[in-house]
Amino acid sequence: MIRFRILGAGGAIPTPTHTPAAYWVTVDGTGILLDPGPGALVRLVQSGDAPDGVDGIELVVLTHLHPDHCADLVALLFALHSPLTESHEPLRLFGPEGLRAYLEQLAQIYGRWLEPRHRRLQITEWALPEALDLPGGGRIQPFAVDHPQDRLSRNGCLGYRFVDHQGRVAVFSGDTGACAELTTAATDADLLVVECSAPDGLGVAGHLTPTEVGRLCAVAQPQRVVLTHQYPAAAAADLRAGIAPHFDGPVIQARDGNLFYVPRESGEENPWSAP
Ligand SMILES: [Zn+2]
């Protein structure tokens, strides 16, 4: 079973309902902090999904190193430096090439303040098509997407397929423009959480508009679609109207706090938009 909590349904510019990228995904019970953008820790603790707070975070997965997707990595590591934390479990970080250099450069700024007090840090830069096997038979599979690279990630940015022990799939696009890799990854997915940064007419390179999401879904035919990474203009628009001419499956325009299950369960928390 996969549980996909939208902690932040926005992009770099926060609004009251759409804060920067942050997600808490559980695959067969394994918790994954996906893209700790600004405010991720606060929103995770507020969500109730991590009752042990930062002590309960053991696996962090990054799509890329832009600040709206990873700024709270600093907050997390600084919190784990506190002697008040109790967990001695390793903290595993997975991200694109450049993650290690990013952390080394943070250490130039903060010194030992970002070294977890009790926990060993395990850093992995994905080597595609590498995957991570999870307890219980699930796995995380990264794939390349099309987004402007930062200075450290020469291999660019990533999306992810989360697969549970029964082969059910939730796909997260990360930040991307239309690309074949995303279409392939999303094909027949049970849940596609896809960025839709701007309404049609305001699209920018490396991001998706409703029409582009619609064309993607027309080919990939995911079972359900959740729109995220909405900048303010997108959050204020009816994005689903731009998708409908291309794709007639269920599409939800996410807001912070929405919760989705694969397979779908009645406990989903999507009070703002009907599928
Ligand atoms: Zn972004």
CA 109 to centroid of ligand 1, rounded, Å: 24
CA distance 226 to 192: 6
Q: Is residue 274 part of a domain?
A: no
CA 40 to centroid of ligand 1, rounded, Å: 14
Q: Is the peptide bond before 271 cis (omega within 30 degrees of 0)?
A: no
Q: Is residue 266 part of a domain?
A: no
Q: Is residue 273 part of a domain?
A: no
> Residues with beta carbon < 5 A to ion ligand 1?
68, 175
CA 1 to centroid of ligand 1, rounded, Å: 27
Q: What is the mean pLDDT of residues 62-72?
A: 96
The contacts of residue 28 (CB under 8 Å, 6+ apart) are 1, 2, 134, 135, 136, 137, 138, 164, 165
| Cβ neighbours of 205 (radius 10 Å) | 8
For the chain, what is the mean pLDDT? 94
The contacts of residue 220 (CB under 8 Å, 6+ apart) are 183, 184, 186, 187, 188, 189, 192
Q: What is the mean pLDDT of residues 221-232?
A: 97
CATH at residue 173? 3.60.15.10
CA 264 to centroid of ligand 1, rounded, Å: 27
Q: What is the pTM assigned to this prediction?
A: 0.95
Q: Is residue 54 part of a domain?
A: yes
CA 176 to centroid of ligand 1, rounded, Å: 9
pLDDT band at 271; cut points 50, 70, 90: very low
State the sign of the Cα–Cα–Cα–Cα dihedral 108, 110, 112, 115: negative
The two tokens of residue 91 are 């903290």
Of the chain, the end-to-end C-alpha distance in Å amounts to: 20
Q: Is residue 263 part of a domain?
A: no
Q: State how far Cα 241 lies from the chain centre.
A: 24
CA 64 to centroid of ligand 1, rounded, Å: 9
At 126-150, the pLDDT tens digits run 999 999 999 999 999 999 998 877 6
Q: Is residue 133 part of a domain?
A: yes
The contacts of residue 125 (CB under 8 Å, 6+ apart) are 95, 96, 97, 98, 99, 100
Q: What is the mean pLDDT of residues 25-46?
A: 97
Q: Is residue 144 part of a domain?
A: yes
What local confidence, expressed as pLDDT, does residue 267 receive? 72
At 240-260, the pLDDT tens digits run 999 999 999 999 999 999 999
DSSP one-letter string for 185-205: HHTT-SEEEEE--S-TTS--T
> CA-CA distances (angstroms) from residue 264 to 44, 141, 160, 166, 173?
22, 21, 20, 14, 20
CA 267 to centroid of ligand 1, rounded, Å: 28
CA 87 to centroid of ligand 1, rounded, Å: 31
CA 212 to centroid of ligand 1, rounded, Å: 17
CA 266 to centroid of ligand 1, rounded, Å: 30
Q: Where are the alpha helices (DSSP H) in 189-254?
A: 210-220, 232-235, 239-243
| Cβ neighbours of 272 (radius 10 Å) | 13
Q: Which amino acid is at 194?
A: V
Of 85, 122, 84, 119, whose CA–CA distance to 100 is shortest?
A: 122
CA 175 to centroid of ligand 1, rounded, Å: 6
CA 46 to centroid of ligand 1, rounded, Å: 22
Domain that holds residue 8: 2-258
**pLDDT > 90 fraction of the chain, expressed in percent and rounded:** 91
Q: Is residue 204 part of a domain?
A: yes
Q: Which amino acid is at 88?
A: H
CA 114 to centroid of ligand 1, rounded, Å: 24
CA 12 to centroid of ligand 1, rounded, Å: 6
CA 136 to centroid of ligand 1, rounded, Å: 31
The label of the residue with tokens 């994005």 reads: 239
Domain count for the chain: 1
pLDDT at 273 over 50: no
CA 262 to centroid of ligand 1, rounded, Å: 25
